Structure 1
Amino acid sequence: MIVPNHVLEMLKRVRALYYQDGRETRMLPDDAAHSPFRGAQSASAASITGLWEALRNQGKARGRSQSILADPETLANAETYSGNIENMIGTVKVPVGVVGPLRVRGLHADGDFHLPLATTEAALVASYGRGALAATRSGGISTAVLYEGVLRSPAFVFDSLLNAGRFVDWVVTQVDDLRAAAEATTAHGRLVSLEPIIDNNVVFLLCRFTTGEAAGQNMVTIATDALCRKAVDDCPAKPLRWYVEGNFSGDKKATSLGTLTGRGRKVSASVTLPEQVVQKVLRTDIDAMLDYGRVAGLGALLSGQFGAQAHYANALAAFYIATGQDAACVAESAVGFTRIERREDGLFCSVTLPNILVGTVGGGTALPSQRAARSLLGLEGPGSAAALAEVTAALCLCGEISIVAAMSAGHFTSAHRKLARTR
């Protein structure tokens, strides 16, 4: 059989659905009139109530959905969300657990931290808590921000390779003026690198910015736009068209570029677990963890994973949501490398994440719930974003330690059965 059986079975199921209940015509375009829906760019109690009325008129507001999403506290604080969302109809409550104390001994972060995690996944907080306990009993996690810079990659399309080359030749002689145009848009962003990439008649400019205490996604977009407009206005070689982002930077995507050069903050974290901690806290042994680590490393290699790690995304999604970070950045932040090695004094465990995008100001960090959750960390003021990035990497390391231990000891399934209660 040339066509695999699972493909034939899938086609059989699709074919049966297609000819059921007239679905072959249902999938055709439908030009019937539809009810218009007017949104609201700014949030207020009145705008939220008005949107719910429109939803009811269209038969979409059912049961207690309005009272649950648009609760009294949300309505009372509606204006605070105006800079973060459009068409606001309420807030969603996600359970928040706490992990800690987690001892971090870093270049920027130093202390015992309690970390809020917003998640609906049973066993996740318990697992990270166990890793934090093991790391803290081992003296804490050493961390360092190794590199910093948020990328934006505008693209310029020319009529020929020759004019693309002329544009690049002009750009490298005008860096000071282009930097000034970009930095005039922000009090905190700084252009630290400008690298042209040519693909025949298309030029990408890799613009790397430091962003102070903010994650800086919007900051670098606005600054890059100003840089591009300055270049287009002043350069004799005019592009046919240009775009503020050419999909080269790795924004919200796992890429080879991000893995190698980083986007945001590149952070490394490590701890050495004594044998006694591995046995008493993690309920396994060093050799068992090393054995599983070799198999997991092979799995990462064979599957073509960007980096080699177990589940950074679990920590990042829960921590980003709880503290008001851009949750979509988990797509690129969850790239990195986990290592475990035997040392004379125990099991050395480390993670390196090249794309941690976090901030202590801007974005959703000032929203009521997120600000309250972030206050547990006590990270404010100069250097706080770098400290937050180090804490984030330390949290990811806790998860790697715990899951490798659970897999190596055969406890992974039983822990989920117990804590998730086989729902």
Structure 2
Amino acid sequence: MSIIPSSVLRLLDRLRASYTVEQARSRMSHRAELVPQRALRSSRVTDAASIASLWRQLHAAGVATEAAEPVLADTQTLTDAAAYCANIEAMIGTLKLPLGVIGPLVINGLNANGAYYLPLATTEAALVASYARGAAVATKSGGVTTALLNEGVLRSPGFKFAGLIDAGLFVEWVTRNVDDLQAAAEATTRHGKLISLEPMIDNDIVFLLCRYTTGDAAGQNMVTIATDALCRRIEETCPIKPLHWFIEANFSGDKKASYLGLLTGRGRKVSASVIIPGPLVEKHLHVSVDRMMAYGEMANLGALLSGQLGAQGHYANGLAAFYIATGQDAACVSESAVGFTRMERRGADLFISVTLPNILVGSVGGGTGLPSQSAALSLLGLKGTGHGAALAEVAAALCLCGEISIMGAIAAGHFASAHDKLARRR
């Protein structure tokens, strides 16, 4: 009996059936004829002329069909081209995604308070329908309670020293000069505030965990620029010179799911909850409270055994659709979609809550000013200054709606049939 895994054997059989050794070597060797003589040339300015120039180059290279250009570089895109200048390089057009809407979702929050219609951009059938069902159940139950619990975007520069003694002396110097470093960082921004500076030593390397509030912006670029100024101030004035330093030493959890983000948060930490009356659970989710609790118990065990960071059903689905629709940095879903979903029986009713420590959203900055994304934020009623915290609470409430619906579907045995009906047989 072979002790080689069957998956390895199947892969080798497929490869042998497709290629001889000589053919495989030929396919994987350097091919000078494929090396382009000239890379694409693009203007630093985004306008209709720069878009047209890139399309001419793509046509000349033989990679663009005549049908592609008018779809991606349509008249409206060319008219609005300058609006994208601060958001992209080498722009050749815009990509159209289906945009759905759910609501009204009633939110009873410290910052988000009222009935909201949420835009969701996705190509996944059944997603909008699922979140809409959760929103309807939550609203019929009196609405979602939300609260912003904490905020602070992290950046973690790292410094390498000759030894542990120098690393310790550096930390001592930082603690005695924190006011000057804070001033250097905050001089780069009108809205960002350095609220904590925490050294972490690993022998001859020191990480400085810099946490900022960022106003109504998500603040990724803001904190990077501020921390760069802080580090250069250290470089200029600190008598203990590092051998080298880096603006981000991969300790902050930027665009990665991490234990640090789970415990301390990175962005805005929000909790949302609802108590669903038992009769509404049975009427709209087609399942009993006991069955929901039984599923929740098993799902939490699955999360524990598989090593999830947190325990939840599918935060990423709603967050990705919401982030794309409202001009957020979609890559931040990797850390935003970390948290805990909790269910409890409250008498005859069902309590469900979500807590997400890393929601990175903004109502200003980034892609929020682009034409479609700005319109989506206007639909939501949270465009512009003063709405960053409310937007984070809405994002958490959205995740709660998704948890209600998907857990109800799985507990009721409807999960597969719903996707078959909406995704395959519509």
TM-score, normalised via structure 2 length: 0.97
Looking at structure 1, the residues matched to 402 and 264 of structure 2 have their Cα atoms a distance apart, in angstroms, of: 24
- Range moving further from structure 2, 306-315 or 158-167: 158-167
Could you tell me which of 162, 166, 171 is aligned with 1:163? 166
- Range moving further from structure 2, 319-328 or 373-382: 373-382
Q: Is the 8 A contact 1:43 1:81 kept in 2?
A: yes
Residues 236-268 of structure 1 deviation map (CA, whole Å, 9 limit, x = unaligned): 111111110000000000000000000000000
- Range moving further from structure 2, 173-182 or 277-286: 277-286
Q: Is the 8 A contact 1:196 1:206 kept in 2?
A: yes
Could you tell me which of 62, 71, 92 is aligned with 1:68? 71
Q: Report the RMSD for the aligned CA atoms in angstroms.
A: 1.3
Which residue of structure 2 lines up, in the alignment, with residue 24 of structure 1? 25
Q: Is the 8 A contact 1:269 1:393 kept in 2?
A: yes
Name the SS of the counterpart of 1:354 in structure 2: strand
Looking at structure 2, the residues matched to 145 and 15 of structure 1 have their Cα atoms a distance apart, in angstroms, of: 57
Looking at structure 2, the residues matched to 321 and 27 of structure 1 have their Cα atoms a distance apart, in angstroms, of: 37
Matches within 5 A, 1:137-156: 137-156=140-159
Residues 120-166 of structure 1 deviation map (CA, whole Å, 9 limit, x = unaligned): 00010000000000000000000001010000000111121221111
Which residue of structure 2 lines up, in the alignment, with residue 98 of structure 1? 101
Shift of residue 7, structure 1, vs aligned partner: 1.9
CA gap 1:81/1:236 in 2 versus in 1, 3 angstroms: same
Looking at structure 2, the residues matched to 279 and 180 of structure 1 have their Cα atoms a distance apart, in angstroms, of: 57
The residue identity in structure 1 corresponding to 2:36 is H
The question of 1:35 aligning with 2:1 is answered no
Which residue of structure 1 lines up, in the alignment, with residue 293 of structure 2? 290
The question of 1:276 aligning with 2:283 is answered no
Shift of residue 52, structure 1, vs aligned partner: 0.2
Which residue of structure 2 lines up, in the alignment, with residue 126 of structure 1? 129
Gaps of 5+ in 2: none
Which residue of structure 1 lines up, in the alignment, with residue 328 of structure 2? 325
The question of 1:2 aligning with 2:3 is answered yes
Q: Is the 8 A contact 2:364 2:384 kept in 1?
A: no
CA gap 1:142/1:15 in 2 versus in 1, 3 angstroms: same
Name the SS of the counterpart of 1:376 in structure 2: helix
Q: Is the 8 A contact 1:140 1:271 kept in 2?
A: yes
Could you tell me which of 50, 75, 100 is aligned with 2:53? 50
Shift of residue 396, structure 1, vs aligned partner: 0.2
The question of 1:215 aligning with 2:226 is answered no
Looking at structure 1, the residues matched to 120 and 186 of structure 2 have their Cα atoms a distance apart, in angstroms, of: 35
Name the SS of the counterpart of 2:273 in structure 1: strand
The question of 1:417 aligning with 2:420 is answered yes
Looking at structure 2, the residues matched to 131 and 102 of structure 1 have their Cα atoms a distance apart, in angstroms, of: 9
Looking at structure 1, the residues matched to 18 and 158 of structure 2 have their Cα atoms a distance apart, in angstroms, of: 44
Looking at structure 1, the residues matched to 305 and 43 of structure 2 have their Cα atoms a distance apart, in angstroms, of: 48
Name the SS of the counterpart of 1:269 in structure 2: strand
TM-score, normalised via structure 1 length: 0.98
Shift of residue 18, structure 1, vs aligned partner: 4.7
Looking at structure 1, the residues matched to 132 and 366 of structure 2 have their Cα atoms a distance apart, in angstroms, of: 28
The question of 1:336 aligning with 2:336 is answered no
Shift of residue 21, structure 1, vs aligned partner: 7.5
The residue identity in structure 1 corresponding to 2:392 is A
Name the SS of the counterpart of 1:22 in structure 2: helix
Residues 28-56 of structure 1 deviation map (CA, whole Å, 9 limit, x = unaligned): 22334413121232210000000000000
Name the SS of the counterpart of 2:50 in structure 1: helix
The residue identity in structure 1 corresponding to 2:28 is M
The residue identity in structure 1 corresponding to 2:364 is V
Could you tell me which of 391, 402, 416 is aligned with 2:405? 402
Q: Is the 8 A contact 2:160 2:243 kept in 1?
A: yes
The question of 1:177 aligning with 2:211 is answered no
The residue identity in structure 1 corresponding to 2:192 is G
Moved over 6 A (4+): none
Q: Is the 8 A contact 2:364 2:385 kept in 1?
A: no
Shift of residue 14, structure 1, vs aligned partner: 3.2
Name the SS of the counterpart of 1:283 in structure 2: coil
Shift of residue 420, structure 1, vs aligned partner: 1.0
The question of 1:371 aligning with 2:374 is answered yes
Q: Is the 8 A contact 1:18 1:24 kept in 2?
A: no
Percent of aligned pairs sharing the same letter: 64
Which residue of structure 1 lines up, in the alignment, with residue 267 of structure 2? 264
Shift of residue 16, structure 1, vs aligned partner: 4.0
Looking at structure 1, the residues matched to 88 and 293 of structure 2 have their Cα atoms a distance apart, in angstroms, of: 46
Could you tell me which of 205, 222, 227 is aligned with 2:230? 227
* Length, aligned pairs only: 423
Residues 197-229 of structure 1 deviation map (CA, whole Å, 9 limit, x = unaligned): 111111110000000000000000000000000
Name the SS of the counterpart of 1:271 in structure 2: strand
Looking at structure 2, the residues matched to 41 and 29 of structure 1 have their Cα atoms a distance apart, in angstroms, of: 32
The residue identity in structure 2 corresponding to 1:7 is V
